[in-house]
Every structure is written in C-alpha cells, then in structure tokens.
Chain A
Amino acid sequence: SQQGEEDPQALSIQEGENATMNCSYKTSINNLQWYRQNSGRGLVHLILIRSNEREKHSGRLRVTLDTSKKSSSLLITASRAADTASYFCATDAHQGGKLIFGQGTELSVKP
C-alpha cells in the first residue's frame, strides 16, 4: 500500500540554492519522518515531525506538516554537493509502528 508520494521525482539544482521536496499521504498519521539515502546505501533518518506539530528545524533542514492537506515539505537550505542523494518521506499511519515509505525524490546538487 502506497502511503507517501514524493514530488518531484527528481530535482537538479546548483550548490548554494535551496531544495524543496514535497510529500503527500492518504490516511491520518501519528508522525511523518524524512530519510536520506546515498546511492547504493541504507537509509538514514533525518527528522521526525509529529502530527500536532506544524514546523520543525534541524540544521539546514526545515520540515513543515499540514495535516489538513495531508502533506509535508522538506526544505534544504544552502545546498551542497554532498546533499546529493534520494530523500524519502515515511508515515506510520497508526499501523503499529511500521512505516510506509514513498518512492522518493532524487536530488542532484551540482558544484
């Protein structure tokens, strides 16, 4: 079952620019999480936002959550070439702790 859908599927920007990725989901959630995956590697947790929160920051990352629209966005400010990776949103959808992942956004940051 597909819960999270990321948009765009691919994004290419220059170093120093901001990158925004969006995630939409279908059912109510406890929390929404964002993960990063470097090519051929495992996923790394970036940030978690609870359903009663609207915005959260962590370093150059800013996540927003709009539960009325069932959507979230991840903003990476002042991007670097090292930010090149795939980014996934994941929701728990009250399903006992298991996460449902979207298909991801492939971000390419050119030096």
Chain B
Amino acid sequence: DVKVTQSSRYLVKRTGEKVFLECVQDMDHENMFWYRQDPGLGLRLIYFSYDVKMKEKGDIPEGYSVSREKKERFSLILESASTNQTSMYLCASSSTRGPGELFFGEGSRLTVL
C-alpha cells in the first residue's frame, strides 16, 4: 500500500525551539509539498520540491525552511518556533508522470507554547 508517512502526529514545543517535521514517501514520487491547515483558512502551501536538493517557496514560506537530501524524504524546519505557527502540517507527494493527484500523510499537529 502506497504511503506518505509523517514522523510525528502530535508535537508540543516551546517558543524559540527549533522544530523538525519529517515526511517520507515510498512511491518514488518526484514532487513533494508541505501545507499548513488552519480553521477558516484552508490549506496553504509553505514549500515544495520537484527534485532532490531542489526547493521552491509556496505562498507562506516566512519562518520556515525545508530540506530534501533524498528523493523520498522532505523535511520542514521551523528555525525558531513561534505561537502563530501552531497548526496542522500536512505533507503530500505526487508523480510528475501523473495527472497531479496528491497523496497526503496523516498530518502533524504542532502546538507552540
């Protein structure tokens, strides 16, 4: 069964901490994405990557960075967590060869105190 796995379902961090959210996919997909989801705002794209070591900013990249050292892994980094980064974070992947269907992980709910 194809899968996108996010390392943590729930995290609680303190303001100023560095936070790593890990995402791994087993479908050999070229494209990977990080979204955040907030009530009333829907899903907003943070960063995405079309290839290893490649990254592009989405609509709300401020306060975040990403790393893609291997094709199957896409990490989201919060260099210095702030309370307004409390959110649900969703990782997704898709194939360049496909029509663009996204496969999502189960999400990581981050609370920053």
Which residues does A use to contact B, with CB under 8 Å?
Answer: 1-2, 30-31, 33, 35, 40-45, 48, 50, 88, 90, 92, 96-104
Q: Which of B6-30 contact A (CB under 8 A)?
A: none
In B22-42, the 8 Å CB interface with A consists of 31, 33, 35, 40-42
Assembly CA distance A102 to B44 (angstroms): 9
CB-CB nearest in chain B for A30:
B100
Flag if B42 contacts A31 (CB, 8 Å): no
Residue positions of B touching A, CB distance < 8 A: 4, 31, 33, 35, 40-43, 45, 48, 50, 58-59, 90, 92, 94, 96, 99-107, 109
Contact between A98 and B33, CB atoms less than 8 A apart: yes
Verify A43–B40 contact, CB threshold 8 A: no
Q: Are B50 and A40 in contact (CB under 8 A)?
A: no
- Judge whether A98 and B101 touch: CB under 8 Å: no
Given A97-B50, A100-B45, A103-B41, verify A48-B90 contact (CB < 8 Å). no
Q: Quick check: B104 and A42 within 8 Å, CB to CB?
A: yes
A18 to B102, CA, bound (A): 26
User: What B residues does A44 contact at CB under 8 A?
Assistant: 104
Query: B59: which A residues are within 8 A, CB to CB?
Result: 1
User: Within the assembled complex, what's the spacing in Å between the Cα atoms of A98 and B100?
Assistant: 8
A101:B107 contact, CB within 8 angstroms: no
Whether B102 lies near A43 (C-beta < 8 A) is yes
B95, closest chain A residue (CB)? A97
CB-CB < 8 A to A45: which residues of B? 101-103
- A44–B4 Cα distance when bound, in Å, is 11
Which of A1, A31, A45: most chain B Cβ within 10 A? Answer: A45
Partner of A92, one of B41, B96, B100: B100
A-B contact pairs, 7 of them (CB 8 A): A2-B42, A35-B102, A50-B99, A98-B48, A99-B45, A102-B42, A104-B42
A100: nearest chain-B partner, CB-CB: B45
A77 to chain B, nearest CB (A): 23
Contact of B90 among A33, A43, A50, A103 (CB under 8 A): A43
